[in-house]
A = this chain, B = another copy of it.
């Protein structure tokens, strides 16, 4: 039996393209003792993968060329040589961009329960993106009831959770998203107090005015996924002693770095700006995932998915994600 997988064939110089990837078919190897084989149902596409495609100094090991692209997956155990994990178990792990993956079951996969939470949500709201939102907001921003929390990429897998958690903590939630449809979803479905369509505010003055209207008492906490002009504008509207969780800078992932126009605002407003990677804070995951799973199960935390069909569609879906064409958590349906 064969396995289909996608490997990185070349590192992008600026914008990545589908030519950086290759879909290939390889024979399934025999399963080693103690291991399990997983048929992956969904692959998660996430902005961090862009960083791994580069070999510039980074916080993670670069993706090796001609190896299966890394990525989070959920699937079903179809063969087991590990007595602790039965065939039929549903698991979440880092299976990569492929139909079948193997795992030791020794910390590299987690068996999940789909009674309250749909399987795919373990790649989103009850998975790494949800934990990213939970950790950055609760542990770095530490919002207090009555404060204003801002988040960009607000309709996405991370941003949607940030704003909903902020609301659940008694804060005003202001989203920033690209397009009227995303903004309508953020306000009407997710319950944010306001959402700014940055595509309708291309110049600094217009975006600034929109921020002031959406956050009349100023911004106390900001969860940064985008960078560039959005970050410039938000920082200028932050209140004294504001906290910024820096999670992503997707606007600068391809090509030259985008500067921060006026870093002295960090001093002037006595801000704390802190970068983080949620996988370095695993001690918080059990608590955080329990909270997130409970909120999804009880319907208090909503989410939306963009599902590309079939492994072959992954490269284009990933490129679309980098420019915000997705709407909600981007997945690829594999089986």
Interface residues in chain A, defined as those with a beta carbon under 8 Å from any beta carbon in chain B: 51, 57-59, 227, 231, 240, 246-249, 252, 257-264, 266-277, 280
Closest to A243 in B: B274
- Alpha-carbon distance between A57 and B262 when the two chains are bound, in angstroms: 13
Q: Is the CB of B280 within 8 A of A275?
A: no
- Alpha-carbon distance between A227 and B263 when the two chains are bound, in angstroms: 8
Copies of this protein in the complex:
2
Q: Is the CB of A249 within 8 A of B273?
A: no
State the Cβ distance, A223 to closest chain B Cβ, in Å.
12
- Alpha-carbon distance between A263 and B261 when the two chains are bound, in angstroms: 10
Q: Is the CB of A264 within 8 A of B252?
A: yes
In the complex, which residues of chain B have a beta carbon less than 8 angstroms from the beta carbon of A248?
Answer: 267
Q: Is the CB of A273 within 8 A of B273?
A: yes
Q: Is the CB of B59 within 8 A of A240?
A: yes
A-B contact pairs, 14 of them (CB 8 A): A57-B268, A58-B268, A59-B240, A227-B264, A248-B267, A249-B263, A249-B264, A257-B262, A257-B264, A267-B275, A267-B276, A269-B275, A272-B273, A272-B275
Q: Is the CB of B264 within 8 A of A271?
A: no
- Alpha-carbon distance between A142 and B230 when the two chains are bound, in angstroms: 31
In the complex, which residues of chain B have a beta carbon less than 8 angstroms from the beta carbon of A231?
Answer: 263
Q: Is the CB of B266 within 8 A of A273?
A: yes
In the complex, which residues of chain B have a beta carbon less than 8 angstroms from the beta carbon of A277?
Answer: 270
Q: Which of B59, B262, B274 contacts A259 (CB 8 A)?
A: B262
- Alpha-carbon distance between A259 and B288 when the two chains are bound, in angstroms: 36
- Alpha-carbon distance between A260 and B271 when the two chains are bound, in angstroms: 15
- Alpha-carbon distance between A158 and B90 when the two chains are bound, in angstroms: 58
State the Cβ distance, A331 to closest chain B Cβ, in Å.
24
Q: Is the CB of A266 within 8 A of B275?
A: yes
- Alpha-carbon distance between A270 and B140 when the two chains are bound, in angstroms: 12
State the Cβ distance, A38 to closest chain B Cβ, in Å.
31
Q: Is the CB of A263 within 8 A of B260?
A: yes
Q: Is the CB of A59 within 8 A of B276?
A: no
State the Cβ distance, A153 to closest chain B Cβ, in Å.
14
In the complex, which residues of chain B have a beta carbon less than 8 angstroms from the beta carbon of A258?
Answer: 263-264
